[in-house]
Amino acid sequence: MLSFTGKIVFGLVLLLTFTAFAVPVYYRIRIVIAGLPNKRFNNPFRRIWNSLSKILLQRCTLKNERAFTGLMHVFIFYSALTFDTMSVNHILEGFFPRFHLFGHGGFSLFFSLVVDVMAILVLTGIAFFAIRRFIIRPKAYQTTPMDSFIIYFLITVVTLSYLYFEIFSIAFNPGTERLSFLGVFFGNILNVSGMTASAVHTHFYVAWWLHILIVLGFISYVPHSKYFHMFAGSFNVLVRNERPHGELCSLDLENIEVFGAEKAFDFTWKDLLDEFACMECGRCQDVCPAFSTEKPLSPKMIIFNLKHHLLENKKAIIKKDRDNLNNLMDGVFTEDEIWTCTTCGACMHVCPVEIEHVSKIVSMRQSQVLMESKFPKELNAFFRNMETNSNPWGIGFADRANWAEGLDVKMLTDVPDTEYLLWIGCAGAFDEQGQKITKAMVSILNKAGIKFGILGTEEKCCGDSAKRLGNEYLFQILAGDNIETFKKYNVKKIIVTCPHGYNTFKNEYPKLLDLLPKLSDEDKVSLQNIEVFHHVQFIQHLLETGALTLKDRIIKELTYHDSCYLGRHNSIIKEPRDILLKLTGKKIIELDNNKEHSFCCGAGGGLMWTEENLGTRINHKRTDEVIKSGAEIIATSCPFCQTMLQDGLKDKERETIKVEDIAQVVDKAI
């Protein structure tokens, strides 16, 4: 198609395009690999299969929180794949006249139809996003408007220039229209057949060059734009976290010099990859309880600001030049951002490309607490109480089992061979409402004939709040002591009434074992095999097996609040609803945000122990959903959630709505 000179010029244009694309990509790769090690390549075949299915079927964007937006993204995604294929064909066609990737048979006929259909779909998708971003202007879209405009413009002109080429390609090579209905349609409107052969020939070559130069210009621009998520986001899905989202990794305190993320390269390479994978869709921001209650935190802006910091300081990051790189808390992030996160995980759950926001925030908290001793002033008392008495209230060890006076409860030291350890937890031992949950669970276990024991004064806080507040050192002390106690009594099964304890024991303690030098390999195997049950799971099992029989049904309207650490982080969603269905005989009233999309109560991430002085109280927003539902009873499965919702209803003067743990509701019914 091209002359010899034209082929040389075209070859140089391709070389320049490759260079313009490769150089910024090279620097981004260097930035990413400057991060700390993180094992993300286990189970390669499963990862590849899951990633391909998630990307190619667009399960990453077709989520129920933005179904129609996801559909528009599907239009653009499949159109991009189609036009990328045609661009390859277009390039080769320059060197080989009338070349076609798929030959001239049946599939080529079909593909010619697909290209025109995709041209319509991509223009529809671009129009939708342009209207949303520039006219409707939701908060989630209010970043990089110029970048968005350039991308929308380039996609549009790539599509229109291709149609221009298609029209004159058909006119220049009669009989090659196949099923390209748009080329024929617009060709008839323009009366292409009435043009002279010379005019058609000129338009054909101009259209070919115009289309390919716009495509190559777009390719050169991609690394500098959020459109780069097409590449980085796909790889991010491949190396996604396969562990429960509620699990946080433990620091090897004995063998590292920097605790947490002080500088950008103190993050893992996966943390740094997240920044380039972000598509700036703002889904994370939409569901963040802190952002939606006027706090300074936006998960999207955490990623966005870190990305700009990485690019602005790429040389220092690549060289790991600690002296010439600002601390993350010196202009990149603010204290109000990192201390208003509840670690609820809603941001990570809705992210289409598997970005991990929470671990970054906790890493910065670790640096502030362990390296700088900077944290909200209320935490002074919290950390002191945990250090001296292993509970947030600072109540003495001797009082930890006072709640059990007069009850048929045995200490594990008296029944060391019993099957179950009932873990009481700090709230269950010291908080008045938490004690009611504990007593209800004891009643249920006794009625079901389950043999169990408690640790009493030997029990210490599981360490969840300390860990999420950044005090990894305190967490590991508490966890190490509890693990030694589990080993002492050869614990095999644990029942917990708090989702935070459940998540910590099930997901985080096993990963900590390798950092505890006193444990033998045999001990580690035994401790890793401990089964952990949340009391909701256990109650459902007792009801299913007939160990418990319900005598009374609840006739009042009932709803259920999903705890973040039970439902979203650990996928225990069906079990509580099965229990409540048996209790009511009908489906419960669902809150506006429910199941994996539940709205946080505001107590997670250790914020139960800080003051909420900014914006609206998170528990008030959740309480409004409860009131709106019209329910008379709200069932919970977490002592923190119960407290926060009770406080919210009290503040709203709606205390006629009762908040009760599922254990309390079931105990009354049996």
pLDDT per residue over 54-102, tens digit each?
Answer: 999 998 888 777 888 999 999 999 999 999 998 898 898 888 887 777 7
pLDDT for 378 = 94
C-alpha span between 65 and 239 (Å, rounded): 24
Write out the residue range of the structural domain in which residue 231 sits.
39-238
138 lies in the same domain as 107: yes
Tell me, yes or no, whether 487 and 570 share the same domain. Answer: no
In the numeric block, the tokens 């700009």 are attached to: 308
CATH number of domain containing 292: 1.10.1060
In a domain, 1, yes or no: no
Cα(343)–Cα(363) distance, integer angstroms: 12
Are 593 and 496 within one domain?
Answer: no
Residue 28, in any domain of the structure:
no
pLDDT the model gives residue 187: 86
Residues 308/376, Cβ–Cβ less than 8 Å? no
25 lies in a domain? no
Identify whether 444 is part of a domain: yes
Structural domain tally of the chain?
Answer: 4
Which stretches of the chain score pLDDT less than 50?
A: none
Quick check: is 254 in a domain? no
Q: Which amino acid would we find at residue 471?
A: N
**CA dihedral for 254, 259, 263, 268, sign (positive or negative):** positive
User: C-alpha angle with apex 598: 595 to 603, nearest 5 degrees?
Assistant: 130
For the chain, count helices (H), then strands (E). Answer: 29, 7
Residue/partner pairs of 179-187 with CB below 8 Å, 24 or more apart: 179/109, 179/110, 179/112, 179/113, 179/116, 180/112, 180/113, 180/115, 180/116, 181/113, 181/116, 182/116, 182/119, 182/120, 183/116
Q: Are residues 458 and 512 in the same domain?
A: yes
Q: Say how far apart CA 259 and CA 109 lie, in whole Å.
A: 61
Same domain as 306, residue 178: no
Same domain, yes or no: 518 and 577: no
Q: Are residues 44 and 68 in the same domain?
A: yes
332, 423: one domain = no
Residue 32 falls inside a structural domain: no
Q: Does one domain contain both 594 and 523?
A: no
Place of tokens 């208003």: 340
Q: Domain of 499: which CATH number? A: 1.20.1050
Q: What is the 3-state secondary structure of 405-456? A: CCCCCCECCCCCCCCEEEECHHHHHHCHHHHHHHHHHHHHHHHCCCCEEECH
Assess contact for 428 and 435: CB atoms under 8 A.
yes
Largest Cα–Cα separation, the chain: 103
How far apart are alpha carbons 65 and 204 in whole angstroms?
Answer: 45
Domain boundary among 321, 338, 372: 372
Tell me, what's the pLDDT at 97?
A: 80
Residue 10 placed within a domain? no
Q: What is the pLDDT of residue 254?
A: 92
Question: Are 435 and 506 contained in the same domain?
Answer: yes
* pLDDT at 318 (0 to 100): 97
Domain match, 395 and 512 both: yes
Residue 90: per-residue pLDDT: 85
Is-above-0.85 flag for pTM? yes
Q: Which two tokens stand for residue 569?
A: 């982080």
Domain co-membership, 301 together with 157: no
Domain membership of residue 579 (yes or no) is yes
We report the CATH number of the domain holding residue 656 as 3.40.50.10700
Residue 146: count of CB within 10 angstroms of its CB: 8
Euclidean distance between the first and the last CA atom of the chain, given in angstroms as a whole number = 84
Neighbours of 132 (CB within 10 A): 15
